Amino acid sequence: MPVLFNTRAAAILAAGLSAAGAFGDPGILGTKSGGGYIGSGGGPAIGPMPIIQMLVALAIVIVLVKWLLPKALSKVGKKLVTPVGSGISIEESAAFSGGSLYIVKARGKELLVCVSSSGVSCLADLGGDRAPVAEPTFQEMVETAKAAPAPEVELALERLVRLGG
């Protein structure tokens, strides 16, 4: 897919176009030598050229805001989204400076996928279904805590009994 908008090239182009006027006339910073000021009798202060320049600048701003800005913003913040009942699910994700890593489960396989500005690539096949780690339920944890109290608790209870006399 060709890149339609390159921010670095656009910034260089904008800087070059804005600096181009500085090199147009001889003198310091592109100004005319001789001190010709507006209203000094050098000619009319308002003519068709400033209006044309303003219209060209306005057209450039409209083009940037209407077409190029939405394209640039659409590339920022894209996420991989799947429907709820889909056969593809994202198990984990991590972002890094060059893109994002996803562990994707699709049709019984787990894949490590990299999504970057250059495209999407499958880095590794992590195998099929992994056996889930059997964690004890809350009820099982309570029962094991009742069966064997911690030694600190037993020592605290003995001290209370001795103090109560």
Checking if the pLDDT of 133 tops 50, the result is: yes
Cα–Cα distance for residue pair 43/37, rounded to 1 Å: 10
Report how many helices (DSSP H) and strands (DSSP E) the chain contains, helices first: 5, 4
Percentage of the chain with pLDDT > 90? 6
pLDDT, tens only, 46-73: 678 888 899 999 999 998 888 888 777 7
The answer, yes or no, to whether residue 14 has pLDDT greater than 80, is: no
User: Mean pLDDT lowest for which of 61-70, 82-91, 103-112?
Assistant: 82-91
- State yes or no: pLDDT of 21 exceeds 70: no
pTM across the whole model: 0.33
Q: Report whether pLDDT(93) > 60.
A: yes
pLDDT of residue 157: 85
